[in-house]
Every structure is written in C-alpha cells, then in structure tokens.
Chain A
C-alpha cells in the first residue's frame, strides 16, 4: 500500500527551540494511527505542517502523494481538527454549514446524528460553548467530513467519558463503512489504544517509537517476585526499570517472552504482567532516565 502520509527528515526550528528534528515516518492509506507524546513534544506542530497550516524549516512532506502546503487538490481531501481551533463569530450551525460546502464527501445526516449524540444545538454561539462542547463540534466536523486524510489533535479535551466513548464508537463505525487514513493525537492512551493499528511516539521533536500496535503487545513485561528469583530470571535480558521493596523486586524486561521463559517464571513463582501501551509510551518518551530507544528498535516494524 502506498503511504497516505510520508515525512522525511522533517525539521521545524523556531527562534528559541527546535519543535521537530529530523522526523521521518510513513502512515499507510486506510489505517488509524496514534500520534503520542508528552505536552510540547511536537505533535501539534507535526499535524499543522501536515495540514499546510505551518511550514517546515527543512525536510519533505507528502500527503496523498503531494506536498500539502497551498495544494488544494490535497487540502480538500484532508480535515484537521485541533483542540485550540479558533472560529469566527459563528453559531454551531454556521460552522457545520460552511464545512458542508468545502468537503466533497460531507455527510450531513451523520453530522446531524453526531450533533444529537453530543447534545449540540445549532443556534448556540460557538464562543459560548463549554470546552467539551467545542471539542464535540470539532469531532462532528472531523467525522462528517469523511475526508481521505483525517487529522485529530487532542480532539476530546474537556469531553466526559460517555461522550468520548461516543466518539470512539462513531469513528470506528464510520471508518468501517468508509476506510480512510486517520491520525489521532491524544493523551488518553490506554483508552484509545484499541483504535490504533499503529503508533508513532514523539518526544522532544524526535520520533522515539514507530511500530504496529500489534507488535507492541507483550513487547515489555513487568516481572515481580522475590529479589533472587527476579534477578535469576532477568539476567541476560534487557531491562528498563528496576524497583526493589524489601525482599520483593519488580523489573521491566524488554522483548517477547517465549513459552520456555514463561514456564521458568512460573517455576520461580514470578508474576508476569505485560506493559500497557500507555506504560510503553511513558518509557519511550520522557520518563526520566528512560533508556535509549535502541532497546525498542527491534520492535519497530
């Protein structure tokens, strides 16, 4: 499959800091990809560059095979919903009506259904909406646009758990009906983990992890039990984090465990708990003293 989004050596420098440094990544057409990382890691800058709202300092960006900046053939097939979207002096209905003119695949019925799901009223002024309701408006536009490339930047800031579940359900349902490329940045990693077919983690402007979500399951495991048994088990294995409390120890090992290793752990009376995606991301990005990403290179697909 050809990539819907492809960036190579992408760098964005601002006067006092580097927001993105030599970022390279490819996202296949027809997949849902999570863009993860800490605050200020460069997620929004990357998405803005993909959407043609910001310009790279250097590097190559291609969306649907062409550079997106000022390229309407690409732009009209792409929607970008950002957390801090500024709207004109509009009511909710105005924003939806305007969006319906610009997106060739706009689904008005779906937009209406999403509005009803979230309890959005068309005659309400956008500036009077709560944070969560503003997010809901963005989500309604982002899904109903049915754009070939759909970029969501923290789309559900301020939304309650029920509304977030509606977002996941609606997004997946519509994705199944009309597959497209979706890139979603979020802090609520475990909650959204089931959506992702691929995750890209960036930290301080660099890609620190780019892997298929399937490949990440069981890639790191927390081993806990008596200190001696844990030491015995982890000797010779790459280790991320070692914690000790009295005679008990808890160690994170990297690499898939085969059946023999599991049998050995059982025999030693050790607990094995696979790391969740969120824990992996914490380790891959920003966790003080996190190991070099070299440990994860074998994981990257």
Chain B
C-alpha cells in the first residue's frame, strides 16, 4: 500500500468527519429548504393567478448547497490542525502527508460531484422535487449538462479544501498573527491587482472578460487557482513543525 493511500486511509479511519457529517449537513439543508419552499407559495405565481394569468414555471433557487462546499473548507483546515501532528508522529513525511491528504480531497470531491450531478438530474426530472426548488441547480454555476455539474463541483470542492489546508498550515507555522498577516497579504494582493487594472484603464476589458466567461471557462480558471493554492500550501508545509 503506497504511503499516499495510507495517509488517505488515516483520515478515514474515523469515517464520521469525512463520510457522514458532510452528507448529514447536506440532508439537513435539503430538508430545511424543501420545508421552507413548500410552506411559502411563490409570490409571483400567486399574484399572477390572481390577475387571471397563468404563472410561468419559475425555479426557486435556495443556494443551500453552499453548506457542503463550506464544510469542505473546514475539513481542509482540520486536516492540518487536527491530523498533522499524529500523522508526523507515525513517521510520515510532510510531503507525503500533504500529497495523500490532497489526494483524498480530490477523490471525495470527484465522488461528491457525481452524486450532485445525479441528484441534479432527479431534481430536473421531478420538477424540483415537486416544488420547483432549485437545490442542486445553481444559476450560471451549476446549470449545464451533468458532466459540467460534476466537473464544476469537483473543482470547487477541491479548491476549497486545498485553500483550507493552506490556512491550517499557515496557522501551524506562523500562529495567529501570522495567519492574520497571511489573510492581509491576500487582500493586499487583490487590492494591488485592482489598482493596477485601474491604472491601466482595464476595467472595461475585465468586465468584458467576465461577462463572456462561461461556467466551463470559470471552472477552468478555478482549476488553475486550485493548482496555485496547492503549490502554495506545499511550499508552506515544508518547514512546518509540530
């Protein structure tokens, strides 16, 4: 068994956190959304019916799927904060721990994306679970064919997990003040980019770029960002101590 697979199994030896909690959160979010939608008749539809017009079938989006994505970020943070010290005590190198953990995240993100795509298909077929709810459909982001839903979810989940890992590593290596500086550096980099665009009078171009960006294009961009974050975390964990 390769060390990377052992590291992935190490995270799953207590399956609760990775295999049960996220789906529990999702099921709860789904139940709450469904109950809320069922109890609140669409205002538009009611008004239209009142005026003798036939209501247009309008999907009501909840956005609650984001809870699952946010939890992946939390898992990424905890993979370092809670699991790294004992991992190193078991004689794993930082390099292998990092790669094995990222591998686990990618596999879980890939599988979760497939589940989302399947549930999205059911959602479409049942007209939003009989309530026109858009839970597994998100305008623009998850609104295409099944394979794009799968790919975008896969990339998005991996990105958030990897970003969380980098936060966990930054905290372990530099402490609270260092983590604040880490956040400040990111904000500063964003502002600096914005300032550069302003100086170059490039906002029109940027606006055009984003208005023409498809969901698939955005997924590609996020994939590039995920790889960059992965490299950043890799560089930071090299000198992390426990």
Contacts and interface: CB of A to CB of B under 8 A. Distances in A.
Contacts of A55: 239, 241
Contacts, number: 77
B44 interface: no
Interface residues of B, number: 26
A80 to B, nearest CB: 6
A225 interface: no
Contacts of A102: 6, 10, 90-92
B61 to A, nearest CB: 34
Nearest to A75: B91
Given A55-B241, A72-B91, A103-B91, A87 B96 contact: no
A147 B86 CA distance: 16
B17 interface: yes
A206 to B, nearest CB: 22
Interface string A71-109: 110011111111001111111001101110111000000
Contact of A98 (B3, B13, B93): B13
A235 to B, nearest CB: 53
A177 interface: no
Given A90-B14, A101-B9, A82 B89 contact: yes
A81 B89 CA distance: 7
Contact of A101 (B1, B93, B242): B1
A55 B9 CA distance: 28
A117 to B, nearest CB: 22
Contact of B92 (A75, A82, A91, A94): A75
A65 B70 CA distance: 45
A97 B91 contact: no
B82 interface: yes
Contact of A95 (B1, B86, B239): B86
B88 interface: yes
Contacts of B3: 72
B58 interface: no
B9 A53 contact: no
Contacts of A98: 9-10, 13, 86, 90
Contacts of B83: 88
A54 interface: yes
Interface residues on A, range: 20 to 34
A52 interface: yes
Contacts of B6: 101-102
B60 interface: no
B85 interface: yes
Interface in B196-242: 238-239, 241-242
A85 B17 contact: no
Q: Which of B85, B89, B90, B239 has the most CB of A within 10 A?
A: B89
Interface string B4-46: 0010011001101100000000000000000000000000000
Contacts of A52: 88, 93
Nearest to B95: A70
A48 interface: yes
Nearest to A81: B89
A72 B93 contact: yes
A75 B93 contact: yes
Contacts of B9: 98, 101
A76 B7 CA distance: 13
Given A54-B241, A72-B3, A72-B93, A91 B14 contact: yes
Nearest to B83: A88
Interface string B79-116: 00011011011111111100000000000000000000
Contacts of A76: 91
A89 B239 CA distance: 25
B219 to A, nearest CB: 32
A129 B73 CA distance: 29
Nearest to A86: B85
Interface of B: 1, 3, 6, 9-10, 13-14, 16-17, 82-83, 85-86, 88-96, 238-239, 241-242
Interface of A: 48, 51-55, 70-72, 75-82, 85-91, 94-95, 97-99, 101-103, 147
Given A70-B93, A98-B9, 20 more contacts: A52-B88, A53-B88, A53-B241, A70-B238, A72-B96, A75-B91, A75-B92, A81-B89, A85-B85, A86-B82, A88-B82, A88-B83, A89-B14, A89-B82, A91-B14, A94-B13, A94-B14, A95-B86, A102-B91, A103-B91
11 contacts: A51-B88, A51-B89, A72-B91, A88-B14, A88-B83, A88-B86, A90-B13, A90-B86, A94-B13, A102-B91, A103-B91
A-B pairs with lowest CB-CB distance, top 9: A75-B91, A86-B85, A102-B90, A88-B83, A70-B93, A88-B82, A94-B13, A76-B91, A54-B241
